[in-house]
Amino acid sequence: MTMETPLSQVRGLGASGEGAKHWGLERATAASSLILLVWLGVSLLRLPDLSYLTVTSWMRSTLVAVPMLLLIFSVFWHLKSGLQVIVEDYVHEEGSKLLWIMVINFLSVFGAAIALFAVLRIAFAGTPA
């Protein structure tokens, strides 16, 4: 027996029984991605050029590498949530829905891992000769 009213028991759950947290995280990562992408865009436009030397020596600094790592976390989390919503809305068969969500999860984690590793590799590589 619960003392909660029927309305408060279902509030925030929706037809699938879950999703309020997913919805919130999609908004939170949208906000953080917006801030970090504005930072990235402005920074790239302020660089004298986008040559190999300019970009790698720029990314070696802590104040660039750390926001880049955060941006990768934020953007890949957001795109994973977003693609999942697309699949949930347009794939109606439970089996293929599950399969597609798994593919999305694997590929977004894979992409994020490559990007994170690349930034760390540049940051830790030291000044090139």
> Could you say whether residue 69 binds another protein (CB under 8 A)?
no
Residue (8 or 125) nearer to another protein, CB: 125
Could you tell me if residue 2 is left (phi over 0), alpha (psi between -120 and 50 degrees) or otherwise beta? beta
What is the gyration radius of the CA atoms in the chain, in angstroms?
Answer: 20
Q: Which residues contact 100 (CB under 8 A, 6 or more apart)?
A: 87, 91
When the beta carbons of 4 and 14 are compared against another protein, the nearer one is 14
Compute the distance between CA of residue 110 and CA of residue 120 in angstroms, rounded to an integer.
Answer: 15
CA distance 116 to 73: 8
Q: Which is nearer to another protein, 1 or 129 (CB)?
A: 129
Under the binding rule (CB under 8 A), the answer on residue 65 touching another protein is no
User: CB of residue 21 vs another protein: minimum separation in angstroms?
Assistant: 15
Give me the residues that bind another protein (CB under 8 A), please.
Answer: 27, 30-31, 34, 37, 45, 50, 52, 55-56, 59, 75-76, 79, 82-83, 86, 92, 94, 108, 111, 114-115, 117-119, 121-122, 125
